[in-house]
A = this chain, B = another copy of it.
Amino acid sequence: MAPLIRFNNDYSRGAHSAILDALSRTNREAYPGYGTDEWCEEASRLIRAACAAPDATVHFATGGTPANVVAISHILRPWESVLAPETAHIHVHETGAAEHAGHKIEALAAPDGKIRSSQVREAARAWETSPVPEHVTRPRMVSVSFPTENGMLYSRTELAELREACDAHGLYLHIDGARMAYGLGAPQADATLADIAAAADTFTIGGTKCGALFGEAVVVTNPHLAAHYRSSLKQNNAMLAKGWLLGLQFATLFEPRPGSGNGCLYFEIGREAVAQALRIRRGLADAGIEAWSESPTNQQFALFTASQLAALGARYAYQEWGPGEPGPDGEPRTVARLCTSWATTQAEVDALLADLPEIAKA
């Protein structure tokens, strides 16, 4: 039996070949430890440039959960809390790491995985106008994901509105960019990395899911948050002894490519994976399989009947996302996720597209 073609997630394979090449090329070189090496410096420089944020500080963390926890632990005082969508990774899939570090996450309703600036303002005002503010955690950080856990994007305007709401109420804005490449790579995205940097006080640029072997860049644009960030990285288990391994990967991902304008491997990876995801999106629609979300990014979600899912699963790995609304005829349906990544090939998607009409009829 042929192995499954894998669309189940975007972290099931190693690294882009350029990353592996870089690791091999430098394997015998000696570097200082803990992120004080020349590759981290170079990657920081490149990321600052890509973000048009010359004064930002950039760090590198072992993964996305560590990077998020560091931001929360570093920035907030003990009585301060995080406003986040109810679907946020930090709220539902980090084993309470934020609370383990001492902070409440105040989950806001987010039917489409996004929260609006009006919700932020309302939550901030609730604390400000509380008759007993010292009995209530103070919302001090907004954390959103770009793209969200279900593939959606904040527009440039929405980001600016979140920023304004944060400014109006003295909140920090953290953006979890574990899939940043796939957000920026969506044709529909009108926010650039510079827009993200302008909106956020701190954000992450995911490597793990976006071509690197592992690791995330952490960008701190608010200079008031910069001091002692390395202490927080170390204390929260986010710092790698051989830090240059992370710097080297991000330098590889963000090195400008000759003749490609602002282009670099990171952006290219994002664009290509999203292009393949949108092919799948169209294929699903053409086959009459209903989309579950509007996702314009690398994660596509659709509603399958049990027999359709069985047919899909015979040849393709997918991830079950939860129960969905029944079909028009009342038939139960399941939401399944199909992901592309830097490792997805044209041929893999071709195969799926060819099979989808058959799967739809199953």
Contact = CB atoms under 8 A, between A and B. Distances in A.
Contact of A237 (B31, B97, B107, B241): B97
Interface in A155-189: none
A13 interface: yes
Contacts of A136: 92-93, 95
Nearest to A131: B320
Interface in A234-251: 234-242, 245
Interface of A: 6, 9, 11-15, 17, 20, 23-24, 26-34, 62-66, 69, 73-74, 77-79, 81, 92-97, 99-105, 107, 131-138, 208-209, 213-214, 228, 230-242, 245, 317, 320, 343
Contacts of A6: 30
27 contacts: A11-B33, A12-B30, A13-B28, A13-B29, A13-B30, A14-B27, A14-B29, A14-B242, A20-B24, A23-B23, A30-B343, A62-B63, A62-B240, A63-B240, A78-B100, A78-B235, A79-B96, A79-B232, A93-B136, A94-B235, A97-B235, A99-B103, A99-B137, A100-B235, A208-B242, A213-B242, A214-B240
Contacts of A239: 63, 65, 134
B93 A135 contact: yes
Given A99-B103, A103-B99, A230-B134, A11 B242 contact: yes
Given A78-B96, A78-B101, 7 more contacts: A12-B31, A12-B32, A14-B29, A14-B245, A23-B23, A30-B343, A34-B135
A242 B228 contact: no
* Copies in the assembly, this chain: 4
B237 A66 contact: yes
Contacts of A32: 12
Which 8 pairs of residues, A with B, have the shortest CB-CB distance? A14-B27, A134-B230, A79-B231, A66-B237, A95-B235, A237-B237, A96-B137, A12-B30
A132 B93 contact: yes
Point out which of A23, A30, A81 has the most chain B C-beta atoms below 10 A from its C-beta: A30
Nearest to A248: B14
Contacts of A228: 77, 79, 134, 138
A155 B200 CA distance: 49
A120 to B, nearest CB: 18
B79 A95 contact: yes
Contacts of A103: 96, 99
A31 to B, nearest CB: 6
